[in-house]
């Protein structure tokens, strides 16, 4: 696309796609912004008067907001730590030559193919159920009292379920990164007198830094909006114990029929997601530069 | 000190015996070159000495102590890899410091050795760069620096120059030779390039299919190759090997004559032929001579001033005492 002519032709050609994309993104965003400044509750038909920042004020002043905010960060942070740490260990394990490697790798990837609602329900009903669950059967055998995971530790349980879903993704990316590690580097380190632990710390981990960054950035995008797992297991409860921002917006707009309040929550969630993104890019974005 | 003894060292990968039982002694301070065609087991042998591969049988001793079961780090050897194997996320300084850091050496001593190595290898200006910001030759020097600072009993080099361009290769060859003269440490150097072997070695070990074909100084190998393989491998251009009546007349299965040991004349001589391609190097010219009835083609090395054209008739005469004779098994007949 060197000449003036071909460049303007290119612009004309891509414009329909760009316009469609813009409409696709801008119209919902514009409507969300528009509704967020109105008193618009489906239970109160009639006019939708402008109320300025009222919806935002109400959303933030609601004590559930701060709980949801903290829960969101705990959920994202917990899943990130669990998937990265376990993912690195699993990737190293899967990189070792072993019998039945192909099958083991497919098994490790399997959870990623199970849709969130299904996997959350499986965990809830087959494993964590205080009466019928596998753990309820197992714990007394080990001399411990049965534990109602989703009631007594709802956020931790959901963090666990979501980690289980995302572990394959992290493992897969980290495994391909480990496989690209030059074996001569490892041998050089071995000759230099580095123990297995030092080799992991000084060679493997730095080599993985870029892959870890990719895992963290991609997962953060998806983890900020975890919803299905909460809906089918705890419904955000008990109380607000497992409500995150996404779930709070849902509760606002669809359970309370408060379109205005929900929209304001959505806008706040967008702003917070961007803050997290800026923070992440500052902290680890430099790993992506070659 | 760095005297390395291999006693019946064997290596098998599954069923494939890559190194059949092999004996070799490398004296302290020697520059030994393992040379042989690609895939003959040079790297494998070096890795066995380094401890990066387990032997399938036999004993390795370093300075008289059994090293067969020792892990690589405990053998006191340093290795320079073909890919350099630098740590890409560490600066040059940290790369060089790494083995000392792993050994828990005091900081001041580390600094002293790094400065020394950097001075010797002309790396002082690059200490704070990453390997990715260096040229091939500089990376090679960093890899050598990382090996030097450990003050090892012996250095192991695995085709260290094969990733460099021709001019740089000649330069690095000299630098490594100089380094050996200065440090007087044992060096084992693997290459498939017989020129590197001839120019650098105190002692050359010619390998074929994991077996030692001959061990000797460069000139010994050049003057008295023990068999046809060594005769053909050492020397450039390669030795002319002649079979048939001419060889039988000398009670041999094959006779060999190096291109530089043939006298060229346009009037008379022992063998008559037609000039084919001429390769002019300036100082010398290599003529490919055909239709001699001896072999497909005979290479002759003549003075650069000799003027012969394609299609000219030439006469070739082997110089006295420079003919090599080999029997049916390819072994030298004394
Ligand atoms: N890890 C291995 N597994 C199986 N065969 C190997 C392995 N490493 C080397 N070999 C075989 O051993 C032979 C010698 O290899 P190598 O020592 O690398 O040769 P060189 O360095 O002389 O080119 C080759 O035929 C190669 O295929
Ligand atoms: Mg090799």
Q: What's the longest Cα–Cα distance across chain A?
A: 79
Quickly state the pLDDT bin for B146 (edges 50, 70, 90): very high
B66-102 pLDDT tens trace: 989 999 988 999 999 988 999 999 999 999 999 999 9
- Tell me the shortest Cα–Cα distance from A101 to chain B, in angstroms: 20
> Residue B210: how many CB atoms within 10 A of its CB?
21
Is B150's CB within 8 Å of A207's CB?
A: no
pLDDT at B255: 92
Ligand of minimum distance to the alpha carbon of B210: 1
pLDDT on residue A38: 86
Question: Which of A193-202, A255-264, B197-206 has the weakest average pLDDT?
Answer: A255-264
Residues of A in contact with B98 (CB under 8 A): 189, 192, 194, 202
Q: Is the CATH number 3.40.50.300 carried by domain B4-230? A: yes
The domain over range B237-326 is classified in CATH as 2.40.50.140? yes
Q: For chain B, what are the domain ranges?
A: 4-230, 237-326
Residue-wise pLDDT for B256-288, tens only, equals 999 999 999 988 889 999 999 999 999 999 999
HEC string of chain B equals CCCEEEEEEEEEECCEEEEEEEEEEECCCCEEEEECCCCCCHHHHHHHHHCCCCCCEEEEEECCEECCCCCHHHHCEEEECCCCCCCCCCCHHHHHHHHHHHCCCCHHHHHHHHHHHHHHCCCHHHCCCCHHHCCHHHHHHHHHHHHHCCCCCEEEEECCCCCCCHHHHHHHHHHHHHHHHHHCCEEEEEECCHHHHHHHCCEEEEEECCEEEEEECHHHHHHCCCEHHHHHHCCCCCCEEEECHHHHCCCCCEEEECHHHEEEECCCCCEEEEEEEEEECCCEEEEEEECCCCCCCEEEEEECCCCCCCCCEEEEEECCCCCEEECCCCEECC
Minimal CA separation from B68 to chain A, in Å: 15
Q: What's the B295 CA to ligand 1 centre distance in angstroms? A: 34
In degrees and rounded to multiples of 5, residue B296 shows phi and psi of -50, -45
pLDDT for A290 equals 57
- Pairing state of beta strands B31-35 and B203-208? parallel
Residues of B in contact with A185 (CB under 8 A): 85-87
Rounded to two decimals, the pTM is 0.81
Q: How far does the CA of residue A276 sit from the closest CA of chain B (Å)?
A: 27
Measured between CB atoms, which of B52, B83, B102 is closest to A192? B102
Rounded Cα distance, B172 and B168, in Å: 6
* Angstroms from A201 CA to nearest CA on chain B: 12
Ligand nearest to the CA of B82: 2
pLDDT in tens, B37-55: 999 999 999 999 999 999 9
> Is A187 in Cβ contact with B87 (below 8 Å)?
no
DSSP-assigned letter for residue A200: I
- Give the pLDDT of residue A101: 82
Residue B326 CA to ligand 2 center (angstroms) comes to 30
Percent of chain B's residues with pLDDT above 70: 100
| A288 close contact with B: CB closer than 8 A | no
User: How much of chain A exceeds pLDDT 90, in percent?
Assistant: 38
CB neighbour class for B51 (10 Å; exposed up to 12, middle 13-18, buried from 19) = buried
| SS3 at position A68 | helix
To the nearest whole Å, the CA of B248 is away from the closest chain A CA by 51
Q: Does A191 contact B73 at a Cβ distance shorter than 8 Å?
A: yes
Give the closest ligand to the alpha carbon of residue B39: 1
Res B154 pLDDT > 70: yes
Task: Check residue B298 and give its pLDDT.
Answer: 93
Radius of gyration of chain A (CA): 24
Which residues on adjacent β-strands are paired with residue B68? none
How far apart CA B254 and CA B295 sit, in angstroms, is 11
Distance, CA of B63 to CA of A2 (rounded, Å): 68
**Angstrom distance (rounded) from CA B295 to CA B125:** 56
Q: What does the block give as tokens for A227?
A: 């919803």
* C-alpha span between B101 and B192 (Å, rounded): 34
Which atom of ligand 1 lies nearest, measured to the CA of B190?
A: 21
Instruction: Summarize the confidence of residues A81-87 as an average pLDDT.
Output: 96
Q: Compute the Cα dihedral for A199, A200, A201, A207 and give only its sign.
A: positive
pLDDT for the residue B5? 93
3-state SS record for B46-72: HHHHHCCCCCCEEEEEECCEECCCCCH
Q: What pLDDT, in 10s, does the model give residues B230-263? A: 999 999 899 999 988 888 988 999 999 999 999 9
Is A207's Cβ below 8 Å from some Cβ in B?
yes
Distance, CA B228 to ligand 1 centroid (Å)?
A: 24
- Tell me the pLDDT band of B30, cut-offs 50, 70 and 90: very high
Within 6 A (CB) of ligand 1 lie: B 13, 18, 36, 38-44
Radius of gyration of chain B (CA): 24
Q: Residue B168: what pLDDT?
A: 86
User: Which residues of chain A are within 8 Å of residue B99 when distances are taken between CB atoms?
Assistant: 191-193
Atom number of ligand 1 nearest to Cα B40: 22
Among chain B residues, the shortest Cα distance to A203 is held by: B87
Burial of A61 (0-12, 13-18, 19+ CB in 10 A): exposed
Question: What pLDDT shows up at residue A1?
Answer: 57
The pLDDT confidence band at residue A79, using thresholds 50, 70 and 90, is very high
The CB-side HSE value for A146 (13 A sphere, CA atoms) comes to: 14
Higher pLDDT, A230 or A43: A230
Interface residues of chain B, partner chain A, Cβ below 8 Å: 50-52, 71-73, 77-79, 81-83, 85-90, 98-99, 102-103, 146, 150
Task: Point out the ligand nearest to the CA of residue B47.
Answer: 1
pLDDT, mean of residues B302-318? 90
Is the pLDDT at A289 greater than 80, yes or no?
no
CA B151 to ligand 2 centroid distance, Å: 25
Of A187, A193, A206, the CB nearest to B99: A193
Nearest CB to A191: which of B72, B83, B89?
Answer: B72
A50: three-class secondary structure by DSSP: strand
pLDDT digits (tens, 9 = 90+) for A230-264: 999 888 878 888 898 899 888 888 878 888 888 89
DSSP letters for A73-84:
HHHHHHHHHHHH
Tens-place pLDDT, residues A106-117? 888 888 888 889
- Of ligand 1's listed atoms, the one at least distance from the Cα of B14 is 4
More confident residue, A171 or B2: A171
């Amino acid at each position: 696309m060197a000449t003036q002519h071909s460049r303007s032709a290119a612009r004309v050609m891509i414009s329909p796609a760009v316009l469609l994309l813009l409409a696709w993104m801008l119209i919902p965003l514009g409507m969300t912004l528009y509704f967020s400044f109105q008193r618009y509750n489906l239970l109160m038909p009639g006019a939708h008067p402008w109320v300025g920042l009222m919806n935002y004020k109400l959303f933030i002043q609601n004590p559930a907001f701060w709980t949801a905010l903290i829960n969101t960060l705990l959920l994202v942070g917990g899943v990130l730590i669990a998937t990265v740490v376990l993912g690195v260990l699993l990737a190293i394990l899967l990189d070792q030559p072993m019998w039945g490697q192909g099958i083991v790798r497919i098994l490790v990837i399997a959870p990623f193919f199970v849709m969130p609602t299904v996997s959350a329900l499986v965990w809830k009903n087959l494993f964590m159920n205080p009466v019928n669950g596998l753990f309820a059967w197992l714990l007394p055998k080990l001399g411990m009292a049965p534990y109602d995971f989703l009631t007594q530790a709802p956020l931790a349980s959901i963090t666990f379920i979501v980690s289980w879903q995302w572990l394959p993704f992290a493992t897969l990316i980290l495994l391909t990164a480990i496989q690209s590690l030059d074996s001569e580097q490892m041998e050089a380190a071995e000759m230099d007198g580095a123990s297995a632990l030092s080799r992991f710390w000084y060679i493997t981990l730095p080599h993985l830094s870029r892959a870890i960054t990719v895992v963290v950035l991609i997962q953060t995008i998806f983890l900020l909006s975890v919803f299905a797992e909460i809906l089918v297991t705890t419904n955000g409860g008990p109380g607000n114990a497992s409500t995150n921002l996404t779930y709070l917006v849902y509760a606002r707009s669809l359970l309370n029929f408060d379109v205005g309040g929900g929209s304001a929550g959505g806008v706040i969630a967008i702003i917070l997601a961007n803050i997290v993104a800026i923070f992440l890019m500052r902290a680890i974005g430099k790993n992506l530069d070659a | 000190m760095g005297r390395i003894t291999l006693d019946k060292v064997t290596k098998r990968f599954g069923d494939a015996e890559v190194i059949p039982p092999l004996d070799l002694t490398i004296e302290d301070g020697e520059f030994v070159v393992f040379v042989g065609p690609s895939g003959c087991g040079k790297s494998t042998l070096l890795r066995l000495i380094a401890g990066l591969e387990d032997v399938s049988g036999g004993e390795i001793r370093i300075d008289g102590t059994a090293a067969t079961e020792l892990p690589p780090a405990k053998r006191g050897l340093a290795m320079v890899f073909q890919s350099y194997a630098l740590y890409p996320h560490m600066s040059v300084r940290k790369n060089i410091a790494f083995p000392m850091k792993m050994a828990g050496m005091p900081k001041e001593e580390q600094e002293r050795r790094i400065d020394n190595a950097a001075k010797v290898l002309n790396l002082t200006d690059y200490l704070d760069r990453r390997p990715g910001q260096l040229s091939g030759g500089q990376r090679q020097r960093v890899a050598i620096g990382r090996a030097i600072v450990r003050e090892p009993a012996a250095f192991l080099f695995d085709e260290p120059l094969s990733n460099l361009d021709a001019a740089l290769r000649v330069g690095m060859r000299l630098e490594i030779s100089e380094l050996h003269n200065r440090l007087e440490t044992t060096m084992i150097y693997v290459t498939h390039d017989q020129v590197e072997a001839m120019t650098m070695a105190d002692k050359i070990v010619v390998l074929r299919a994991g077996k030692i074909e001959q061990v000797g100084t460069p000139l010994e190998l050049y003057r008295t190759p023990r068999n046809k393989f060594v005769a053909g491998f050492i020397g450039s251009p390669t030795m002319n090997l002649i079979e048939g009546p001419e060889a039988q007349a000398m009670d041999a299965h094959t006779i060999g004559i190096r291109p530089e040991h043939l006298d060229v004349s346009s009037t008379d001589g022992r063998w008559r032929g037609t000039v084919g391609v001429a390769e002019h190097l300036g100082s010398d010219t290599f003529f490919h001579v055909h239709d001699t009835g001896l072999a497909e083609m005979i290479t002759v090395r003549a003075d650069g001033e000799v003027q012969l054209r394609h299609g000219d008739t030439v006469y070739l005469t082997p110089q006295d005492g420079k003919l090599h004779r080999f029997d049916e098994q390819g072994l030298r007949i004394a």
